[in-house]
Copies of this chain bind each other. A is one copy, B any other.
């Protein structure tokens, strides 16, 4: 997946993030990823998992 993002210009990356928030999908995609991890379908290192949980909590508190 890393190369998908590398193919994008920084402008493309910025507009994708803006659209993600404009369309209010930020919580949905993080919770889907956390579900995949917690159901064992996907494995990530501890730091990545912690980062995802922290983002999820921050977005929920908005």
The oligomer's copy count stands at 2
Report the bound CA distance from A8 to B32 in whole Å.
20
Give A7 Cβ to nearest chain B Cβ, in Å.
8
User: Is B17 in contact with A5, judged by CB distance below 8 angstroms?
Assistant: yes
User: Is A29 in contact with B33, judged by CB distance below 8 angstroms?
Assistant: no
User: Is A26 in contact with B30, judged by CB distance below 8 angstroms?
Assistant: no
Q: Given the complex, which residues of B lie within 8 Å of A32, measured CB to CB? A: 19, 23
Report the bound CA distance from A15 to B29 in whole Å.
11
Residues of chain A touching chain B, judged by Cβ–Cβ distance below 8 Å, are: 1-2, 4-5, 8, 11-23, 25-26, 28-30, 32-33, 36, 42, 48, 51-52, 55
**10 further interface pairs, Cβ-Cβ under 8 Å (given A11-B51, A19-B52):** A1-B21, A2-B18, A5-B14, A5-B18, A15-B55, A20-B20, A20-B29, A22-B36, A25-B25, A25-B28
